Each structure stands twice: as structure tokens, then as C-alpha cells.
Homo-oligomer: A and B are copies of this chain.
Amino acid sequence: MSGLEKRLDELYAIGAQPDGGTYRGLYDAAWAAGVERVERWLKDAGLETRRDAVGNLWGRAEGTEKGKSVVTGSHIDTVRRGGRLDGALGIVAGLTAVEALLKEHGKPRRTLEVVAICEEEGSRFSTNFWGSRAIVGEIDLVDPEIAVAMRERGLDPGRTASAARDDIDTFVELHIEQGAVLESSGTPLAVVSAIVGTAHLQITVTGRPDHAGTTPMTLRHDALTAAAAMIQGIEAIARSLGPPAVATVGRIRAEPDQMNVIPGRVVFTVDLRHADLAARRALEQRVRSICATVASERSLKLEIGVLQEKPPVPMHPDVRSVLGRAARQSGVQSTELVSGAGHDAQILAARCKVGMLFVPSIGGRSHCPEESTRPEHLELGTAVLRQALQIIAY
């Protein structure tokens, strides 16, 4: 077993759950044990470690030239019953790559750092991107509940602002795809072109609850058959636009929820994503339009609320280019891919150049104990990351 696999196994065991999977929630005991383990590895690799005010762990190899740092890594927290690779891979692959570079080529020209970001998943509190938001200086206020947990780990919430950095030049992260595009196309690696923008809509259709037996089809104001037509329309729109447009109706509720009563009211959510802001807005516009058409044809009332809206974040062209070059130099076939999920890179992009590499997820599974990637893909992703860091930092 390679050092990479061994370290992934060790980290996976920290927070292991009785029913499978692992859980390292921000500032909990498993999280603290995980950070400690990574700190030891960083030290073993000859890096100078420090923890910032929110608990992000940094391992630093000072460059021969002055200037901003080149950083790699990922988050150390997990979802509940999380898998072995989400976050963990980016940290372990980063330190494995940097360790090898230092051993082979000595001191880098530019300062190289490996980071274990304290939180990304919304793993414990009603917040997410906690670590990267602290790094870009975006946290103005620490929730009292989080403040208590920070103090338990010896961190001073009052010093949170000191975690902000303006001396990072480039952030590069290796991550699993968490989808099945690479697997289904037989490609072992992707250079991420952008992280999608997301809009969450809540759609309410109001008709009239009538007796299922005494109301002929022609006299109905059925909110559910209308919602079904909308859902069909939404799917057709996303399909016709093609990747990376996706649209998902994940929640639906019909009222009064009785077998023999025509639904008078239906509420459902729509998750819309696209890598391009204008295209995401156009997608939303078409979704709004199909819903309005269906509601109007059926004389129903329609309300559309926006629950959340996040713009897409393009990866930096210089970093994309370096990552592509690194793949070619390593003899690894790669493609460009849009990330449908969120990552710390989208937050860090506000302060530095960012780039990401994806390796395939078996069956597209993630955020579950079945989360897995073929060992050769893990090795190959780590090799390309190492090559990229060499190009940038040496």
C-alpha cells in the first residue's frame, strides 16, 4: 500500500462511525485528533507548522525568493457518515506532493504551503466555508455557539480577523469529482474550468382542493398535475441546454395530502446550476417562464421565491493552463470539467489565483461510506498535482 493510501486510511479511521463512514465535525474531538495527525505528518515532511485563529493548519516550506505563497490542500471536516476522500484527499495528496518535491528538489523558489482548512461542509454548525472565509477575511461576526466550541479547542474567537491572508498567490486543490462524468467517459483526470453558480427557487402552485370522486377532470384546479407539468418542463429545459446546465427538483409537498382529495397547493424546490452567470440566469428565466405558462394555462396561482443565489466562479486561466500542462507532462489524459459542487477554491478566488483537479468517483458516489476512487487514479492525480506545484514553485 502506498503512503498516500495509508494516510487516507489513518485519517478515515479518525471519526469512524459505528454504522460506517466517518464524521469529523468542526472543533469536535475527532476533528481535533485529525488536525493533530496531519500536523505530525507536516512536521515529518519538514514543514514549519502553525494554526491560525480559526484552526486552519498550515505547513510551510519557505522559498528562496521573497513573495506570495503557493498553497495546496483541502478541508479536514466531513459530513456525517462521510467518505474516505472528500477533503482528506486534497490534504494528503498535497502533503505527499510537497514532501516528494522537497526531498527531490530541495528548497522551492517560491514559498510552498500545505493547508488543512478547518471547515467547508457545514459539518456541525449552520455555517459553511468557515476556514476559507476566515482566510479571505470575510468573517465579521462569530456565532456564539461557534465561539464556545472554538474556546474549547483553545482558539480565541476575538482573534478571528487575524486568520485573513493577503500573501497567497495561488491555491491548487486535488479533489474527487463527486459525480460520474469522468468515470462514464473513461477519463482519469479533469482540470476544473469553473465552479457552478447556484440558484435555489421555491415554487408554490395554488389551485383548489376538491373531491377526487365528484369533480370531473375538466372542472379541476389541480396543483399537483400542474406541478408535474412544470417539473417535466424544467427537466426538458436543462436537458436541451446541455452540460453544464443542471436543474433538480429535490423537495415536493402536496396539500392537503389526502388520497381522495385533489391537491389544492403544491410547494417544490428547484436547484439550478451553470458555470456561466448569464447562462445560469437564462436557465432560471426559462424555468420561470415554463412555470408561468403552465400556471396560466390551468388558471392557477404561482409564486416563485429565491431561497439562495450564488454566482459561478471561474478558475484562474493561468492555473488551468499550468494544470493542463502538468497533466500532459505526466502523460495523463485529462479533460476540462465544471464543478457542480461547491469548494473552498470558490471562496479563496476572491484573494488569489485558484485551480482544481478532479479524479473520478466510482459510481459518482460521494458524501457516503461508499465514496471511492481507484488507487491508480489517486496516484495519478497526486502526480499531476506535484508536477503542477513544481512548475509554479520551482
If the complex has contacts A231-B225, A232-B228, A257-B251, are A246 and B340 also in contact, measured as CB distance less than 8 A? no
Stretch at the interface among A107-115, A206-214, A349-357: A206-214
With a cutoff of 8 Å between Cβ atoms, the chain B residues found around residue A181 in the complex are: 214, 216, 219
Closest B residue to A216 by beta carbon equals B243
Question: Is B217 a contact partner of A238 (Cβ separation < 8 A)?
Answer: yes
A263 CA / B179 CA spacing, docked (Å): 15
With a cutoff of 8 Å between Cβ atoms, the chain B residues found around residue A339 in the complex are: 213-214
Cβ < 8 Å to B, chain A residues 216-257? 216-219, 222, 224-225, 227-229, 231-232, 235, 238-239, 243-252, 254, 257
If the complex has contacts A211-B178, A212-B273, A252-B252, are A246 and B217 also in contact, measured as CB distance less than 8 A? yes
With a cutoff of 8 Å between Cβ atoms, the chain B residues found around residue A229 in the complex are: 228, 232
- Interface-centre pick from A228, A257, A340, A341 (highest chain B CB count, 10 A): A228
A132 within 8 A of B: no
With a cutoff of 8 Å between Cβ atoms, the chain B residues found around residue A262 in the complex are: 248, 250
If the complex has contacts A179-B219, A225-B231, A252-B252, are A213 and B260 also in contact, measured as CB distance less than 8 A? no
Q: How far is the CB of A364 from chain B (nearest CB, A)?
A: 6
A257 CA / B251 CA spacing, docked (Å): 5
A366 CA / B212 CA spacing, docked (Å): 12
Copies of this chain in its oligomeric complex: 2
Question: Is A222 a contact partner of B235 (Cβ separation < 8 A)?
Answer: yes
A149 within 8 A of B: no
A367 CA / B214 CA spacing, docked (Å): 12
With a cutoff of 8 Å between Cβ atoms, the chain B residues found around residue A225 in the complex are: 231-232, 235, 249
If the complex has contacts A179-B219, A231-B225, are A213 and B341 also in contact, measured as CB distance less than 8 A? yes
A contacts with B, residue count (CB < 8 A):
59
Question: Is A251 a contact partner of B246 (Cβ separation < 8 A)?
Answer: no
A304 within 8 A of B: no
Question: Is B248 a contact partner of A178 (Cβ separation < 8 A)?
Answer: no
Q: What are 16 A-B interface contacts by the 8 Å CB criterion?
A: A177-B214, A178-B213, A179-B210, A179-B214, A181-B214, A198-B213, A211-B340, A211-B367, A213-B273, A213-B339, A215-B246, A225-B231, A229-B232, A250-B262, A251-B254, A251-B258
A364 CA / B210 CA spacing, docked (Å): 8
With a cutoff of 8 Å between Cβ atoms, the chain B residues found around residue A232 in the complex are: 225, 228-229, 232
If the complex has contacts A216-B181, A216-B243, A246-B216, are A254 and B257 also in contact, measured as CB distance less than 8 A? no
If the complex has contacts A211-B178, A213-B196, A250-B254, are A219 and B184 also in contact, measured as CB distance less than 8 A? yes
Closest B residue to A272 by beta carbon equals B212
Question: Is B211 a contact partner of A366 (Cβ separation < 8 A)?
Answer: yes
A342 CA / B307 CA spacing, docked (Å): 43
